[in-house]
Amino acid sequence: MTAAGVAAGGAQAAGVVGDGAQADEVAADQERLDYARAAIEYAYDQGWTDGLPVVPVTRPMVEEFLAQTSRPADEVIAAVPHLNRQCTVEQAAVNAALAGCRPEYFPVVLAAWDALMREKAVVGGGWQSTSGPAPLIVVNGPIRHRLGINCAGGVLGPGFRANATIARSIGLVVRNVFGIRPQELEQATQGLPGRWTLCVGENEEESPWEPLAAEVGLPAGTDAVCATLLRTCEFVDNRHTQNPEELLTDFADTISRTGAAIVPYSSAGLVLGVEHAQLLAANGFTKRDVQQWLYERCVRSHEDLERAGKGLGGWNRAGGAGGRPRIDEYGLHMLPSPEQLMIVVAGARNAAMSMVVRPFGFAGWSRTAVAIESRE
């Protein structure tokens, strides 16, 4: 609705009679709004939404999205093999438009799908899990700023169109193309709040270490996406120490809780707040040092697990490299390997807080990054 239409509508509601042209404009605006509302309700009736309204999509809108990529519209970019269902570039474009993406976000959406399809859990039925996992999409490179992808305050929360809609488009494909919906093919017992909103930009400018995409092999400065599935996020609030080992001990306690052990499996990652990352780096810790320190110390004893009804007796004690944590005389090592502890730096410098995240699948995340297609 135009500003004039809003003003005219307010005047009309107050009983003020405008001139004929103004009344015509108000009527035209009202007709357009009624049409949009009907289109949104139609989408609800068809089951195309995730519970929130979607953007009505027209053929010209889809063409705007397809113009952002050189990939053919009929190219298959994602699949659920056991259901024999696939998603094409064009179907991804439709759902990105439904989600509220701008066309220029579409190369990130495609890269996110490429990254997700490298995850064993994604192609192995993870979308239908009882834990209802969420895709975590991490964006690196200058494109974060060009598209307005939030990397700082509130990075895991709402309020930023690119973060919210890029992630939402993934969920709409799972629903609309693969047909995986709650209480139907999806089997989530309770599900995960924010299941389709976990797209973050890494705060490369304030991180003391290399970006995630560079860590796993792409040149620094590349526009890229890494992705995996998560079970949940758990905060670590530690503003109490400047000792790096005390801080890491706090992380280890959260990583090692018995509730995270689906015997004999477990996993974890870190979305580090800037202050925590800088404190560790200032005390000589590289990212690899953090991973190794936590790998060695994130162990839950046999006795602790017995008390939680998760005794380790009879389980194969091999593990580690294949993505399965090791069991030994000390108990369950909660991380399958040091490098499987994903570390991302994101958020604001306003409190020393971080998140432990729980990757889904226990086969380990792919540790790969996908470069985002450039049309420049």
Q: Say what the pLDDT of residue 320 is.
A: 54
CA distance 201 to 147: 10
Q: Say what the pLDDT of residue 318 is.
A: 59
Instruction: Look at residue 256 and give its three-state secondary structure.
Output: coil
CA distance 29 to 18: 15
CA 2, 40, 127, 252: dihedral to nearest 10 degrees? 40
Q: Say what the pLDDT of residue 21 is.
A: 85
Note the pTM of the prediction, 2 decimals.
Answer: 0.91
Yes or no: say if 230 and 358 are a contact pair by the CB < 8 Å rule.
yes
Yes or no: say if 226 and 138 are a contact pair by the CB < 8 Å rule.
yes
Q: Say what the pLDDT of residue 376 is.
A: 61
Q: Say what the pLDDT of residue 315 is.
A: 76
Low-confidence ranges of the chain (pLDDT < 70): 1-18, 316-323, 362, 376
Q: Tell me which residue of 111, 78, 93 sits closest to 371, measured CA to CA.
A: 111
Q: Say what the pLDDT of residue 136 is.
A: 95
Q: Say what the pLDDT of residue 154 is.
A: 94
Q: What is the pLDDT of residues 262-310, one digit of tens each?
A: 888 899 999 999 999 999 999 999 999 999 999 999 999 999 999 999 9
Yes or no: say if 326 and 317 are a contact pair by the CB < 8 Å rule.
yes
